[in-house]
Structure 1
Amino acid sequence: METTAPSGPRPVVLMFAGQGAQHPGMGRHLYGTEPVFTAALEEVFGLLGPRARRLRADFLAGRADGLDDAERAQPLLFALGYATARLVRGWGVRPAALLGHSVGEAVAAVVAGVMSLPDAVRLLVARTEAAARTPPGGMLAVAAPAGALAPLLPAGVVIGAVNGPRQTLLAGADAPLAEAERRLRGRGVLCRRARARQGFHSPLMDPVVASTLPDLARTPLRPPAVRLYSACTGHPLTPAQAVDPRFWAGQIAAPVLFGPALDRLLADGDVLLVDAGPGESLLSLARRHPAVTSGRSDVVAVLPPARADTGLVHAALPAALRRIRAEGHRSCVQ
């Protein structure tokens, strides 16, 4: 990614959230009021088939029951990320790069042109159905470095995500994950269960990889037209990886390296990070990065935090637009 001259606007990088960022009511204030957002959301719902009716109804009602299940959270997070990206691009903003967390990387793949929206939604449905059939599991957010945790983990628990220097997610089946939590709390380590009922990014997902690979092998894949930083590798996605079905099939079982990917992205140049997911989940991770705390780069969220009051909910979008325009992206709408 090329950096701009100091006097020019910093390039915009869109970030897309993954499992755990979902919350009741996420983004529903934009449905019916923002035409581009609404049309994009309906485009995804239209591709989801019979499940779309209930998903749309639950989304509009802000229902919380079952929201953490893969078959509900993943399609809604995908749809919301895609619709928010379309909204931002509708302002005239052309992102210089993309970064997705877990299922957010599938959104980034569509925005980058690696796969078509219909193909991505079809694959997402197959993947979430397969994930829902895996043994009960989950993820555990731990305030400790991944390297320090590895020796303490019971069999069946792995590092599922590295989100920052002391922001780690463990993944595995319910029983060993509960044992890991007991051990860590006994040592005074802060931890909490993440909003996931499946052990994403762990060996529990190996059957999902096997079941989705044949379909992926038949799916047209293209090199990215926009620079895509992969949270699966921690580096920019290469053309070879982009067209490799094994890469995309294996992504659900491999650890998420969001922290290393963000490190690489911010080392490549100063940017304006735009959190296009719900709940400001990626904003909260990025704002702690030295490149952001120093002011070299900055971060803004399009959607409000979870449990925000009505005023803050409706203020988030215009505030994000003002911030992007203030950066110097004057092609934005007035």
Structure 2
Amino acid sequence: MTSFVHDFPFDPAYGRTLDELMAVPAPSAPEDFADFWRARYDAAREVVTAPEVGPLEDERDGVRIHGVTYTSVGGVRLGGWLALPVEGAAAGPVRHGFVVGHGYGGRQEAGPDVPLPLPSSAAILPCVRGMGARGLVAGIPDVSAGHVLHGIESRDTYVIGDCVADLWCAASALGELVPELAGPGRLGYLGESFGGGLGALALPWDDRFAAAQLTVPTFGNHPLRLTLPCAGSGESVRARHREHPEVVEVLRYFDAATAAESVKLPTLVAAALFDPSVPPPGQFAVHNALAGERELLVLPAGHFEYEGLAQDVAGLVAARRAFFGKWLGR
């Protein structure tokens, strides 16, 4: 077990060894789990995303970064960033494409998600509804503790389902803006924390993705998460569950580990042994349930500053580059 000096009133390693974490299972799926998500996916693919690209905002790491907006389910207009390779216009078609999910709290800029894992790549970095400077939507809380509860009374109104659809619509917008990336098997997915959990829920139903990398993914094994104190959005869900235990029936449809059992594309998971915001047992449950080729990078800690963090981040970047080079490199 990894141990760090901390002042949390609980153990962010939750007393688990690596062997124990590797044995954490996924909860059983509701009988209509796949039907529910396929219907959500089909509805998202019907959306006319009408993407619009804004002025150039930055140029670095081999890409030009523009603002972008697009329409998602429910007619909601969302924003984000579009990264296009500097050489793309002069040197032929884009070779790789990525949809990049973000952590809870959203993103205020393209930031550390650039550089992209492979050269000659384009990417869309959306702000899902309610999150970040370009994802604000009236009526949806923009703080994780409130956002994670929005619409949780029903599987049909829970905001997490719409956030997953926002990623599918972002992929549609990218395919429209960069036609070389339209069609099956043309995209990679990157997601960290909140974006990792959303990715696990989105990937099984969308054949446009050929490989994925999920870092410290959230929403894994909700029944277990409800027993584990944390400093992240899961604590809000735990509090709601204490008052309304029936919420477990909704959460069953939004369990990233349950969804991972249907993820058949190659997936690299970076999971932490110590994490105060996203309990490691849930992270490992996502990895353990994956149905396709999988790789695991074990991190000492997630959502936590520690000595050696910069080197571990560099190692993750290198592993991500090698992984996508193997599965998307052409």
Q: Fold-level match, TM-score > 0.5? A: no
Choose between structure 1 and 2: higher helix proportion. Answer: 1
Choose between structure 1 and 2: higher strand proportion. Answer: 2
Q: Which has the higher contact order (CA 8 A, sep 6+)?
A: 1
Q: With structure 1 as the length reference, what TM-score do the two structures score?
A: 0.31
Q: With structure 2 as the length reference, what TM-score do the two structures score?
A: 0.31
